[in-house]
Amino acid sequence: MVCDRCKTLLAQEFAKAGISIVSIKLGEIVYGESVDNDDEKIEGILKNNGFELVKDTADMIIENIKIQLINTINNGENDIVGNMSTFLSEKLNKDYSILSKMFSKKEGVTIEKYYIDLKIERAKELIQMNELNFSEIGYALNYRNSSHLASQFKSVTGMSMGEYKKLQQWDRKPLDKIM
């Protein structure tokens, strides 16, 4: 789940199915006592709504990496004060080289590339909202300076932030489609 609408939709679907939900948050659903075939119902509801139940340990770790990075970008907390490898190692209590290899093998891109793509999608959203200037967007996304953001933006999108803003063709990807 990557947005409040997804969480609301799933909460409604589970309620219709009579499944008690304790909490729903990004990447996690906690449900009450399980009745015999609730697990099958839950998997069915998730699948019918474009989600999947993650059971494999490696998949859970990869989802947790994504959740940590998405939360950092969306909440504007600038949690990543040092470097991303230290941040993720501390959050997930695992050596970064293990996380990196696991992520790259499963997703086909590095964690760094994924993180840059997330930041660029968030920059597109902030440009579209037209509430911050480019320097403020850079700061909000934890860039050292706006020229670094501008360089990455152009590298990923093929156009400058100014060109993107002028075109007003908001070519944005949903967060779950970034890869």
Higher pLDDT, 97 or 168: 97
For residue 114, report the phi and psi dihedrals to the nearest 5 degrees.
-60, -45
Q: What is the mean pLDDT of the chain?
A: 85
pLDDT at residue 128 in the model:
92
Q: Does 54 have pLDDT greater than 80? A: no
- Give the percent of the chain with pLDDT over 90: 42
Could you give phi then psi for residue 30, rounded to 5 degrees?
-110, 120
Structural contact between residues 31 and 14, judged by C-beta atoms closer than 8 angstroms: yes
pLDDT above 80 for 76:
no
CA 125 to chain centre: 14
Task: Answer yes or no: is pLDDT of 127 > 90.
Answer: yes
DSSP per position, 5-34: HHHHHHHHHHHHTT--EEEEETTEEEE-SP
Is the separation of the CB atoms in 150 and 161 below 8 Å? yes
Cα angle for residues 168, 173, 174 (degrees, 5° grid): 125
CA dist 91 and 38 (Å) reads 31
Residue 128 CA: distances (Å) to CA of 99, 132, 134, 175: 33, 10, 12, 16
Residue 2 confidence class, pLDDT cut points 50, 70, 90 = low
The band of 90, judged by pLDDT with boundaries at 50, 70 and 90, is very high
pLDDT of 175 strictly over 90: no
In 3D, which of 147, 82, 155 has the Cα closest to residue 117? 155
Pick the more confident residue, 43 or 37.
43
Length of the chain measured in residues: 179
Is the pLDDT at 1 greater than 60? The verdict is: no
Q: What is the pTM of this model?
A: 0.75
Q: Which of 163, 169, 73 is nearest to 123 (CA)?
A: 73
Percent of all residues in the chain with a pLDDT value above 70, rounded to a whole number: 87
Asked if pLDDT for residue 77 goes beyond 80, the answer is no
Query: What average pLDDT score do residues 72-80 get?
Result: 70
